[in-house]
């Protein structure tokens, strides 16, 4: 593991993740038989190294570095998607993990937000400089327990649909590297009682499709 971490640090030094460096890192990974816990540990180190080195001048490089380093952890023959289910904390935990791991950008399109633990993660991400945009349903944003007003007051840009129909999406795009989607509402009751699901995909094509939909809705919606 130390050898892998040393290699990762070396790829940041000159801010060029070359093809040779990518091949070397993949070769080292092939030499080590990592279990799922070790892969998760290494992925957390990737984000930690990125946070340690990122600055106003190397955002684009660091974003690409995270994408390349993460993609190297997943062999091509393996799926790049993971599924989670509720009731239970699995869906909430993966949402919070991806928010906490974000380096540059979070684009969120959700029916409602009333789970305070998710809201707190969003506020912390906003404080550390992550560019957050949220799209939500106009009717649900005024529900008792909704955290939308709190997020607006924190300075996070939020837009709502301006139709009599519901904006019922539940998806989030993380650093243009991953997308979370599924039936799971960002509420406490969804975790405690409801049978819901979350799909986490790191497929570039899937990320691009959801990003296009987010931009389309952002241009159509009105400010909170």
Which member of 97, 107, 140, 170 is catalytic? 170
pLDDT score at 75: 59
Confidence at 38, pLDDT banded by 50, 70, 90 = confident
Q: Is 175 a catalytic residue?
A: yes
Decide if 114 contacts 147 (C-beta within 8 A): yes
pLDDT, mean over the chain: 90
Provide the pLDDT confidence category of residue 33 given band limits of 50, 70 and 90.
confident
**And the tokens for 118?**
């998710």
77 pLDDT more than 50: no
pLDDT class of 16 with cuts at 50, 70, 90: confident
Question: Would you state the pLDDT for residue 221?
Answer: 96
What's the predicted TM-score (pTM) here? 0.71
39-43, 156-160, 196-200: range with lowest mean pLDDT: 39-43
Q: Exactly one of 2, 26, 168, 203 is catalytic; name it.
A: 168
**Residue 180, Cβ density class (10 Å: 0-12 exposed, 13-18 middle, ≥19 buried):** buried
- Report pLDDT digits (tens) over 89-141: 999 999 999 999 898 899 999 999 999 999 999 999 999 999 999 999 999 88
pLDDT, greater one: 47 or 218: 218
72 — pLDDT class (breaks 50, 70, 90):
confident
Q: Give 150's contacts (C-beta < 8 A, 6+ positions apart).
A: 119, 123
Q: In 3D, which of 138, 115, 123, 124 has the Cα closest to residue 186?
A: 115
In the set 22, 127, 175, 208, the catalytic residue is 175
Nearest CA among 137, 156, 209 for reference residue 179: 209
170 a catalytic residue: yes
pLDDT digits (tens, 9 = 90+) for 142-166: 888 999 999 999 999 999 998 889 9
């Amino acid at each position: 593991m130390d050898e892998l971490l040393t290699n990762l640090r070396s790829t940041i030094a000159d801010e060029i993740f070359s093809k040779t460096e990518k091949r070397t890192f993949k070769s080292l990974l092939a030499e080590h038989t990592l279990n799922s816990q070790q892969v998760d540990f290494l992925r957390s180190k990737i984000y930690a190294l990125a946070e340690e080195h990122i600055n106003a001048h190397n955002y684009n490089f660091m974003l690409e570095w995270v994408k390349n380093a993460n993609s190297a952890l997943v062999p091509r023959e393996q799926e790049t998607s993971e599924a989670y289910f509720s009731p239970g904390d699995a869906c909430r935990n993966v949402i919070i993990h991806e928010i906490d791991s974000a380096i540059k950008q979070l684009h969120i399109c959700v029916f409602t937000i009333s789970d305070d633990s998710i809201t707190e993660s969003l506020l912390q991400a906003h404080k550390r400089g992550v560019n957050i945009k949220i799209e939500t349903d106009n009717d649900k944003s005024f529900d008792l327990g909704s955290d939308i007003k709190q997020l607006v007051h924190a300075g996070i840009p939020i837009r709502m649909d301006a139709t009599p129909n519901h904006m019922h999406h539940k998806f989030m795009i993380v650093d243009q590297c991953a997308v979370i989607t599924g039936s799971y509402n960002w509420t406490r009751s969804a975790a405690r009682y409801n049978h819901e699901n979350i799909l986490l995909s790191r497929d570039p094509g899937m990320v691009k499709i959801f990003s296009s939909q987010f931009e389309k809705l952002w241009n159509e919606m009105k400010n909170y």
